[in-house]
Amino acid sequence: MSIPFENNILRVMVYFDLFHYPITKEEIHQFLDKKADPIELDKSLTELNAKRLIFRFGQFYALHNDQKLINRRIRGNELAKRLMPKAVHISNFLYQFPFVRAVGISGSLSKNYADESSDFDYFIVTQSGRLWISRTIMHAFKKLTFLTGRQHYYCMNYFVDEEGMQIEEKNIFTATELSTLIPVCGNGAMDSFFEANEWVNRYFPNHPVNTPQKTKFFGNALKTFIEWFLSHRIFNLMEKYLMHLTAARWKRKEELNKINKRGIRMGIQANEHFAKPNPVFFQQKILLVYEERLAKFEKKWQDRQYSNLSDSLSK
């Protein structure tokens, strides 16, 4: 093959195509799985576009010749830009809850995209040994937001504590989520989290390092008092009880095949150091579809390359 980054470009574009998301040259460069010269990448993209293996729409590249995908992304980027200040404000508010040590914005908003059904997703780092007390207090507050229809602003769906920062699943899905995670506030714990997950650099060696938290907060007097009170060792039993209670409740939801508004099965994985969505119900599904779609496009590109070569030789 004459195109230096063909397979690498394909892997990036197929992944984002799963979410119907055309990407820019700069984004392709950031998510390549090998070191790349931007100038050589530009030449490769130009050649791929000339052979109609990919399609260019201004600054965006897509696997499909469909202007609607571009319009969808532009609208999503504009809405995300308008919603981001609110998400940052809520992140600062969530940091005031007991034992929270850092808050970051995740999900589609962290990728600069939103639509009318988008949630505000948050990644939370807590003090060691108090993750479940902290999570329970925060989710008790979220129950109140249902009364005002604002529950989608408070999707606190991934918790780790200061002793369990390294993410166990290491794949393109988790690497993408971590590399796009936006740190908002904390006591420096998010910086430690990124250091504990430097393996992401092996997936995306061209991606800039996550921006360190420039603003660090240390909570308020009420937070300090509640933490002092709940730090007594008697509350260690409550911590374990809340973990087992929550895990049992979610296990029942899994057994009943409960789904969320997006049609995804509900479930969490839980232990003393994390509470996270069960990867079986979404993450692994995405990875399986990704591999299938990748194989499909690899064959399509090979067939198109062979056809182009045959046409060239026959002239």
Does 181 share its domain with 99? yes
Is 76 a member of any domain? no
Q: Quick one: CA dihedral 175, 179, 180, 185, positive or negative?
A: positive
**Contact (Cβ atoms closer than 8 angstroms) between residue 121 and residue 107:** yes
Does 104 share its domain with 129? yes
**Contact (Cβ atoms closer than 8 angstroms) between residue 27 and residue 47:** no
Is 77 a member of any domain? no
Does 99 share its domain with 145? yes
Q: Which pLDDT band, with edges at 50, 70 and 90, does 287 fall under? A: very high
How far apart are alpha carbons 201 and 184 in whole angstroms? 21
Does 111 share its domain with 138? yes
Is 161 a member of any domain? yes
Is 124 a member of any domain? yes
Q: Which pLDDT band, with edges at 50, 70 and 90, does 153 fall under? A: very high
C-alpha dist (Å) from residue 147 to 30, 150, 233: 41, 8, 35
Is 302 a member of any domain? yes
Does 95 share its domain with 49? no
The alpha carbon torsion through 59, 65, 69, 74 (nearest 10 deg) reads: 20
Q: What is the pTM of this model?
A: 0.90
| Mean of pLDDT values over 269-295 | 92
- pLDDT, residue 1, reads 40
Q: Higher confidence at residue 266 or residue 283?
A: 283
CB count in 10 Å sphere of residue 211: 11
- pLDDT, residue 266, reads 80
Q: Which pLDDT band, with edges at 50, 70 and 90, does 99 fall under? A: very high
- pLDDT, residue 263, reads 76
Residue 254 has pLDDT above 80, yes or no: yes
* Number of domains composing the chain: 2
Is 98 a member of any domain? yes
Q: Summarize pLDDT for 7-51 with one digit per residue, the tens.
A: 899 999 999 999 999 999 999 999 999 998 889 899 999 999 998
Does 59 share its domain with 15? yes
- pLDDT, residue 209, reads 72
Q: Which pLDDT band, with edges at 50, 70 and 90, does 301 fall under? A: confident
Does 230 share its domain with 188? yes
Is 72 a member of any domain? no
Residue 234 has pLDDT above 70, yes or no: yes
Does 233 share its domain with 272? yes
State percent of the chain over pLDDT 70.
Answer: 92
Does 235 share its domain with 308? no
Q: Which pLDDT band, with edges at 50, 70 and 90, does 306 fall under? A: low
CATH number of the structural domain spanning residue 305: 1.10.10
Residue 261 has pLDDT above 70, yes or no: yes
Residue 185's identity, in one-letter code, is C
Does 224 share its domain with 90? yes
| Mean of pLDDT values over 58-76 | 97
| Exposed / middle / buried, residue 52 (Cβ in 10 Å: 0-12, 13-18, 19+) | exposed
- pLDDT, residue 25, reads 95
Does 50 share its domain with 184? no
Does 235 share its domain with 273? yes
| Mean of pLDDT values over 203-214 | 76
Q: Summarize pLDDT for 108-147 with one digit per residue, the tens.
A: 999 999 998 889 999 999 999 999 999 999 999 999 999 9
Residue 85's identity, in one-letter code, is P
* Domain coverage including residue 59: 6-65+286-314
Is 147 a member of any domain? yes
- pLDDT, residue 158, reads 96
